[in-house]
Amino acid sequence: MVDWPDALVREAAERRVVVFLGSGFSKAAVPSLPTWSALLKELSEKLPTANSKRLVTKLIRQGRLLDAAELITSGVNAPDMHNLLRNKFQLRPSPKSNIYNDLLQIDPKTIITTNYDELIEKNFDHYSGGESSHSIRTQTSKSLLADLRSPVRSIVKLHGCITETDHIVLDRRSFFKAQAENIGFFDIVKSLMTVNTVLFLGYSLSDPDIQLILENTNMSSPSTNPHYALVPKFEHPSLKNANSETYNTSFLEYPAGDYAKFPVALSQLREQVRQMRLDRGIP
């Protein structure tokens, strides 16, 4: 059982938490979805030479996923790559999972995700009976700030959406291009992560771009109030402590490899948030 801190439960109850969803959240709902390394390995099969395929395999094994992605996007025909991505992430019919209902009931005002799929919006629509009114914003959107200044709930797709494959962020160049062409959007996201508590779900903090944002936020605007991340148990307490200090993030652990604990923990958070809203008269 995860021991959700009272401070986090209260902030979630008052809708002052930004929820950040990683690929582990989608995989908890649909186990067949690929990890990033598995996706890159499959995309590499479209490369024209055996040497390129072997190099991608080597880079993935070394943990150099951005380098592997760069090689793939440089060597694979764009229409073929986009078609494979759609087949993987634009699932029809869209699978349903109660973890999205739990998230819907927790009701954060802003959700940020690096996932390409449409599982959040499709499940929200399903579990709300068509009453969900979340705006979907990608890096090309111009209305994120207007959402934040209004009662509108927003789902922010930091790396793009499968419905717009031309704008999906997969490698260093595409992320640099997205930031260069949409400076205001990424400034808003950085500001959100500076002035709000962030709860990372299904995310290992392994994305170098998010690491950089958290490091810069912690250095430029240190706070005694941490972010939170639900993660598999660290191999050693020293690793947990080092990451916690670097990113000002409190890690809430569940047994490594026991992924069934993830949705159970989210249901517990949903119930604690619901109870606090009742106790404090929060609608």
- How confident is the model at residue 112, as a pLDDT? 95
- How confident is the model at residue 215, as a pLDDT? 72
The arithmetic mean of pLDDT across residues 258-283, rounded, is: 92
Query: Cis peptide leading into 93, omega within 30 of 0?
Result: yes
- How confident is the model at residue 276, as a pLDDT? 97
Q: Determine the Cα–Cα distance for residues 48 and 225; give it in Å rounded to an integer.
A: 50
From the list 242, 223, 222, 240, the residue with the least C-alpha distance to 231 is 240
Long-range contacts of 218-226 (CB under 8 A, 24+ apart): 218/246, 218/247, 218/248, 220/194, 221/194, 222/248, 223/248, 225/7, 225/197, 226/197, 226/250
Token pair 């009701």: residue: 107
Q: Which two tokens stand for residue 157?
A: 């797709």
Residue 207 has pLDDT above 70, yes or no: no
Q: What is the pLDDT of residues 108-158, one digit of tens each?
A: 999 999 999 999 999 999 999 998 889 999 988 888 999 999 999 999 999
Residue 266 has pLDDT above 80, yes or no: yes
- How confident is the model at residue 162, as a pLDDT? 95
Q: Determine the Cα–Cα distance for residues 34 and 28; give it in Å rounded to an integer.
A: 11
Q: Determine the Cα–Cα distance for residues 55 and 67; give it in Å rounded to an integer.
A: 10
Backbone dihedral angles phi then psi of residue 262, each to the nearest 5 degrees: -60, -55
Higher pLDDT, 227 or 257: 227
- Give the global pTM: 0.92
The arithmetic mean of pLDDT across residues 176-202, rounded, is: 90
Helix (H, G, I), strand (E, B) or coil at 234: coil
The arithmetic mean of pLDDT across residues 235-246, rounded, is: 87
% of the chain residues with pLDDT over 70: 94
Helix (H, G, I), strand (E, B) or coil at 163: coil
Is 214 within 8 Å of 205 (Cβ atoms)? Answer: yes
- How confident is the model at residue 19, as a pLDDT? 96
Residue 205 has pLDDT above 70, yes or no: no
Q: What is the pLDDT of residues 18-48, one digit of tens each?
A: 999 988 899 889 999 988 888 999 999 999 9
Terminal-residue alpha carbon distance, the chain: 27
Q: Determine the Cα–Cα distance for residues 134 and 109; give it in Å rounded to an integer.
A: 9
Higher pLDDT, 144 or 214: 144
